[in-house]
Amino acid sequence: MDLIYTEAGFLIYIDMVNLKFYKYQATGNDFILIDNRTLKLQLDQPQIQKLCDRKFGIGSDGLILIQDHPDSDFEMVFYNPDGSQSLCGNGSRCAVNFASFLGIFQGSTRFLAFDGEHQADILPDGQVRLKMGDVQNVRLMADGMFIDTGSPHLIKYVINVQNYRVYDEGKAIRNGGLFKEAGVNVNFVQITGDSEIFVRTYERGVENETLSCGTGVTAAAIASSHKGLNSPVTVNTQGGTLTVEYTQISNDNYSDIYLTGPAEKVFEGTIELN
Ligand SMILES: N[C@H](CCC[C@H](N)C(=O)O)C(=O)O
């Protein structure tokens, strides 16, 4: 049973709605996007889980609602498939392209996400350049470097990332003592050049490896400044290539952080939502 507002502003109960959705992917990190500006749908965790399920639903690494906001061009509300929330870098880049498709803005935008307001530009080649929040802390831990780029990330450097047991080791760390409660995204990183890395990520809330993770590649690029790499960093992932730029102010302080890469519509459709 859902509560929604009609165009006239009436609050009505509905048993089932034919929900229009759009499917986007950003370097293989895929998302369901819904224009929620009029619908004002409030989804519960079982509905989110079902929509994101790759067998019983549409299938995705997350779900994003686009909503009006009095102080920004729009607000994006992101959910992991398990219903948990955080900033989503690749999802934000998809939301920017979707909001432009909806005619909410052209060229440059300011929108609200889980960790506050972000600015983004759609580049002439269609890639999206997203401004990330500043980073004030790089914590060296036994298991690797911990950096929060709007979602929590652990960075581990490995020799042969292509053959690494990302799922097994990522799952163990994410559910291990230190991170069991809040969870963490685990990024396995191989330095492949003077300003190039390859990143594979086990994602919290997806509870699996994803083909790329925007906040993860951002954290990995920043961590790599402690390994002698400088901005801009080319980050290759299983799903494609991204670029991370930043200004390092001090050992732990980074600002003007930008994540750039493609974000494309794959298909659109409707689904019956109970
Ligand atoms: N799973 C992450 C959120 C999505 C991160 C990733 N999809 C991205 O592009 O940043 C978490 O719960 O911290």
Q: Is the CB of 153 under 6 A from ligand 1?
A: no
From atom 11 of ligand 1, which residue's Cα is the shortest distance away? 204
Which candidate in 19, 26, 65, 88 is catalytic? 88
Measured between alpha carbons, how far is residue 158 from residues 12, 163, 164, 176, 245 in Å?
A: 54, 10, 8, 19, 23
Q: Residues 99, 196: one domain?
A: no
Residues 216 and 148 in one domain: yes
User: What is the 130 CA–ligand 1 centroid distance (Å)?
Assistant: 15
Determine if the pTM surpasses 0.90: yes
| Annotated catalytic residue, options 213, 223, 259, 273 | 213
Q: How far apart are CA 239 and CA 226, in angstroms?
A: 25
Which ligand 1 atom is at minimum distance from the Cα of 184? 13
pLDDT of amino acid 143: 82
Looking at the structure, tell me whether residues 147 and 119 fall in a common domain. no
* Local confidence band at 107 (pLDDT 50, 70, 90 cut-offs): very high
Give how many domains the chain has, as a whole number. 2
> Do residues 118 and 168 both lie within one domain?
no
CA of 85, closest atom in ligand 1: 12
Asked if residue 204 has its Cβ within 6 Å of ligand 1, the reply is: yes
DSSP 62: -
CATH number for position 212: 3.10.310.10
For 219-242, give one letter per residue: b (16+ CB within 10 A) or e: bbbbbbbeeebebebbbbbbbbbb
Q: How far apart are CA 64 and CA 79, in angstroms?
A: 6
Interface ipTM above 0.85? yes
Q: Which of 100, 84, 86, 82 is nearest to 35 (CA)?
A: 100
Residue 148 belongs to what domain range? 139-261
Would you say residue 208 lies in a domain? yes
What is the phi/psi pair of residue 7, to 5°? -50, -35
Which residues define the annotated binding site for substrate? Answer: 29, 80, 89-90, 185, 203-204, 214-215
Beta bridge partners of 243: 234, 260
Nearest CA among 35, 65, 29, 30 for reference residue 47: 65
The answer to whether 32 and 21 are in contact (CB under 8 A) is: yes
Q: Ligand 1 centre and the CA of 69: distance in Å?
A: 22
- 123 with 160, same domain? no
pLDDT of res. 139: 96
88 is catalytic: yes
Sign of CA dihedral 78, 81, 84, 88: negative
pLDDT one-digit tens code per residue, 119-152: 999 999 999 999 999 999 999 998 899 999 999 9
In this structure, the number of other CB atoms found within 10 A of the CB of residue 21 comes to 19
Q: Are residues 124 and 210 in the same domain?
A: no
